[in-house]
Amino acid sequence: MPEILMPRLSDTMEEGSIAKWLKEPGDMIHDGDVIAEVETDKATMDLIAYEDGTLTSIVVREGASAPIGAVVAIIGESGATAEPAVRDDRRNAKAAPAEEQKISGGSAEQDDFSVKKALPAQHGDTSLRLPSSPLARNMARNAGIDLADIQGSGPGGRIVRADVEAAVQNGRTQTIAIPSSPQNGSGHTSTLLPVNKMRKITAERLTEAATIPQFTLTSQVELTKLNALRQEINTYLSKFNEKVSVTDILIKACANTLVTHEKVNSSWAEGQGILLHQGVDIGLAVALEDGLVVPVIKGAEKLSLRQIAGLTKSLIEKARSKKLTPDEMKGSTFSISNLGPFGIEQFTAIINPPEAAILAVGSANMVPAVKEGQIAMISAVKLTLTVDHRILDGAQGAAFLKDLVASLENPSSILI
């Protein structure tokens, strides 16, 4: 029988969790049907069938995880008899949450955070786990909630998704007693927040980036002409219910400048050399509650400002709804991180390996400047370029930043 395997849905994916099955055993399946939703380290993706037939069994239940290449379901010939869905999620090495591990002496084995969780015996048999759905167990584990603290509303007191969601809304989190010590004084409790897949991958990438020899360069950009041009453009685009942001203009300006500074638009190829890219694919850092994703505006040097604005808006919306595809998150040659909307005046962004540089954008502020021999207040923003010193030297990074500032202060050149 054809087996449906857990696919690789992103470059950094090692395992996936079944968020929701859209088909049940006994349902007819056709090539191209979306049969489930899979949660990866970056997004929730569709699981697509590539065979016709009957879904005879589900191997990985909702809420459980499986490594890439593991069997998640089986399709039989049309009309085949459906088998009962797998009841024991431990058939996959990584499928069982810690709460489902064998209980010995009335308490569960330690979970990933080395925290003992006591699970009550059921009907006198400590080998039985709390009645709960796989999805509820996975959600509770990610939220740091002990299932023993939740009153189930399902049949027979079974804990279901809605019960965990209610517990999260009520602010119930797992607490750990911290004993007294000279360091913390009197004893207190601390909240343990489990790390989800997206946060784990973010941590791994940033740890890798921390090993890169890097330096930063900062310049100030006057926004007088840029703001005037943006206002004029948005007045015209308002009739189409469209607009461009400062970030959109920055993306276009960076793309144009990178064309003439090819080493800034390059990557470090370990053990081989420097990889010069023919096209400009700009990654835009988008902060989510669970971590950081970087959708990519591909071929930015060939796109108009209006096209960039539309594409950026679409990618950000997809990022926030966790609907980005793997192709939309890979291949960037240069990145931009903008914390200006959060009121951050200046900051240093960490390089996104293997790129040569990343641009950090601060907030716009009124600052004093000399204009025609007089002190005047102008709107300005600080740009900080973080550079991989293995690829670029200070003078090369400074030359790029100088040309970028000139482009932004004379923004009509961006439209040519």
Contact by Cβ (8 Å): 2, 34: no
**Buried-state track 199-215, b at ≥16 Cβ within 10 A, e below 16:** bebbeebeeebeebebe
Please tell me the least confidently modeled range out of 19-28, 98-107, 276-285: 98-107
More confident residue, 213 or 205: 213
Contact by Cβ (8 Å): 142, 165: no
CB atoms within 10 A of CB 163: 23
Query: Which neighbouring-strand residues pair with 383?
Result: 219, 361
Average pLDDT over the chain reads 81
- Please tell me the predicted confidence (pLDDT) of residue 124: 34
Mean pLDDT of 149-163: 77
Q: β-strands 282-284, 334-338: how paired?
A: parallel
Q: Which CATH number fits domain 198-415: 3.40.1380.10, 3.30.559.10, 3.50.50.60, 3.90.79.10?
A: 3.30.559.10
Angle 250-324-166 from CA coordinates, rounded to 5°: 115
Domain segments of the chain as ranges:
3-91, 101-194, 198-415
For the chain, the 3-state helix, strand and coil shares in percent, each to the nearest 5, are 30, 30, 40
pLDDT at 89 over 50: no
Query: DSSP assignment, residue 94?
Result: T
CB atoms within 10 A of CB 393: 11
- Please tell me the predicted confidence (pLDDT) of residue 321: 87
pLDDT in tens, 116-131: 233 333 333 322 346 7
pLDDT in tens, 338-347: 999 999 999 9
Mean pLDDT of 162-166: 77
Common-topology check for domains 3-91 and 101-194 = no
Sequential DSSP letters for 291-333 = EEE--EETTGGGS-HHHHHHHHHHHHHHHHTT---GGGGS--S
The residue among 328, 325, 261 whose CA lies nearest residue 297 is 328
Please tell me the least confidently modeled range out of 42-46, 154-158, 232-236, 375-379: 154-158
pTM listed for this prediction:
0.64
Angle 68-324-404 from CA coordinates, rounded to 5°: 120
Q: Which CATH number fits domain 101-194: 3.40.1410.10, 4.10.320.10, 3.40.50.880, 3.40.30.10?
A: 4.10.320.10
As a whole number of angstroms, the distance between CA 334 and CA 37 comes to 31
- Please tell me the predicted confidence (pLDDT) of residue 416: 77
Sequential DSSP letters for 218-265 = EEEEE-HHHHHHHHHHHHHHGGGT----HHHHHHHHHHHHHHT-TTTT
- Which residue in this structure is represented by tokens 């502020």? 365
pLDDT in tens, 301-329: 999 999 999 999 999 999 988 888 888 99
Per-residue pLDDT band for 143 (boundaries 50, 70, 90) equals low
pLDDT in tens, 217-275: 999 999 999 999 999 999 999 999 999 999 999 999 999 999 999 999 999 998 899 99
Active site residue 277: no
The beta strand positions in 22-106, using DSSP E, are 28-29, 34-39, 44-48, 53-58, 65-67, 71-76, 103-104
Write the CATH number of the domain with boundaries 3-91. 2.40.50.100
CB atoms within 10 A of CB 330: 16
Contact by Cβ (8 Å): 294, 230: no
Amino acid type, 312: T
Contact by Cβ (8 Å): 9, 16: yes
- Alpha-carbon dihedral of residues 170, 174, 180, 184, nearest 10 degrees? -70
pLDDT in tens, 19-48: 889 999 989 998 888 899 888 777 778 888
